[in-house]
Amino acid sequence: MRIVIAEDNALLREGLILLLTSSGHEVVADVAAGPEVLPALLEHRPDAAVLDVRLPPTFRDEGLRAAVPAREELPGLPILVLSQYVEETYAAELLARGARGIGYLLKDRVGRVDEFLQAPDRVVDGGTALDPEVVSQLMTRKASAKPLLSLTPREREVLELMAQGKANGTIAAELVVTERAVSKHIGSIFAKLGLGADDGTVHRRVLAVLAYLEGNGPR
């Protein structure tokens, strides 16, 4: 996988490069400032981009502002966003423009090497890789929606794990239930949210749920 990295912290940037290259990926470019991101992406047309949200010169939202036009210039470009904190507004804006092939991880997650290295694969496959804290805050923000209020505590747990991009087997293992039980919960969730029939595709289910949570309705 060919990857472009945008991260101003030199130590973290080198660590990301080391982790990704040691896992068989190729880092074709690494930049440290917002204005450098889009030109690097357009020049190298990578398989995925790993972008910090806050970059020089203002350390506000340069990474996100680069991600949005990048997805317009390179439709479907898989993007993995890294942030020190949950930038709720930025996460919502990025997801609202299409959740397919999007990841949003807190930088602490990079220290969990196995989990971090799964994220680029997920977004390149068209799925999502959302930090549990991001999912939790987005769900809390939409918790007043009547369909969400109709979910049972267990269904909310399943929904959060689905939004993180986890498959039924993984969800079953984490909740210590059977996969059949998970499938039943998912069926109930979709019925309550009015998201229509499930075709069995994990990514499609996750994207539909995320679209609902962001107020866009089912796709």
Find out whether 102 and 95 touch, Cβ atoms under 8 Å.
Answer: yes
Cα–Cα–Cα angle for 115, 117, 119, nearest 5°? Answer: 75
Q: What is the pLDDT of residues 145-201, one digit of tens each?
A: 566 778 899 988 888 888 777 788 999 999 999 999 998 998 888 777 776 554 444
Q: Which fold has domain 2-131?
A: Rossmann fold (3.40.50)
Residue ranges matching CATH 1.10.10.10 in the chain: 142-213
Residue ranges matching CATH 3.40.50.2300 in the chain: 2-131
CA-based nearest residue to 178, from 163, 164, 206, 158: 158
Q: What pLDDT is recorded for position 213?
A: 59
Q: Enter the pTM of the model.
A: 0.72
Q: Is the pLDDT of residue 33 over 70?
A: yes
Q: Quick one: CATH architecture of 142-213?
A: Orthogonal Bundle (1.10)
Cα 148 to Cα 144: distance, rounded to the nearest angstrom? 7
Q: Is the pLDDT of residue 212 over 80?
A: no
Q: What pLDDT is recorded for position 198?
A: 46
Cα 130 to Cα 45: distance, rounded to the nearest angstrom? 23
Q: Is the pLDDT of residue 142 over 70?
A: no
Helix (H) or strand (E) holding 141: helix 132-141
Q: What pLDDT is recorded for position 204?
A: 56
Q: What is the pLDDT of residues 48-89, one digit of tens each?
A: 999 998 999 988 888 888 887 888 889 889 999 998 887 766
Q: What pLDDT is recorded for position 195?
A: 66
